[in-house]
């Protein structure tokens, strides 16, 4: 499925719709360049789960946990990860095969441990269509 958005609000809304439908144990991967809208999308997902506290990319930790919503939400940003072993150290399996929704920004950096069942989401710019245009591809 390919969705085109023209504003951050549209990308947020798309994320929100996915968040409303998410089930415990779901894993969504998010890939795309810096500043493309992965965190905006993630904030929409969080809103769709009923989370009202602010959601930003975890800067000093790999994962940020939110328990406020309909199901637990685990927000990963692995941009700064040096080695996939760092995921072992935080016990990633308890999250990926757990009781909540996982979203992983920059998932391609840890491709070898992404569950086969993960929903893959790619966000791209196309500057010919404008600065705020984004093409969002969601694999089923
Ligand atoms: P990432 O997490 O991928 O690095 P962010 O979500 O932090 O990116 O930032 C995306 C930036 O792009 C925000 O400043 C947002 O306002 C802007 N933006 C412009 N157009 C869009 C769009 N259509 N969808 C999402 N973000 C957009
Ligand atoms: Mg981000």
For residue 41, the ligand closest to its alpha carbon is: 1
Q: What is the pLDDT of residues 77-117, one digit of tens each?
A: 999 898 999 999 999 999 999 999 999 999 999 999 999 99
Q: What is the pLDDT of residue 35?
A: 95
Share of the chain above pLDDT 90, in %: 94
CA 89 to chain CA mean position, Å: 21
Residues having C-beta closer than 5 Å to ion ligand 2: 38-39, 57, 105
Mutate to test the pocket of ligand 1, among 37, 55, 132 (most ligand atoms within 8 A of CB): 37
Q: Identify each DSSP E strand in the chain by its residue range.
A: 2-5, 27-31, 63-66, 73-77, 101-105, 119-125, 134-138
Q: Are 31 and 118 in contact (CB under 8 A)?
A: no
Separation of alpha carbons 86 and 52, rounded Å: 29
């Amino acid at each position: 499925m390919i969705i085109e958005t023209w504003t951050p609000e549209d990308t947020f809304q798309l994320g929100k719709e996915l968040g409303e439908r998410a089930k415990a144990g779901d894993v969504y991967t998010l890939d795309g360049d810096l500043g493309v809208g992965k965190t905006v999308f993630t904030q929409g997902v969080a809103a769709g789960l009923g989370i009202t506290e602010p959601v930003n990319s975890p800067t000093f930790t790999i994962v940020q946990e939110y328990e406020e919503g309909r199901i637990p939400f685990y927000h990963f940003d692995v941009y700064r990860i040096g080695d996939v072993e760092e995921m072992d150290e935080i016990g990633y399996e308890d999250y990926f095969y757990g009781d909540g929704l996982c979203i992983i920004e920059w998932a391609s950096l840890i491709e070898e441990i992404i569950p086969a069942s993960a929903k893959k989401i790619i966000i791209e710019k196309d500057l010919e269509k404008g600065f705020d245009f984004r093409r969002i591809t969601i694999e089923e």
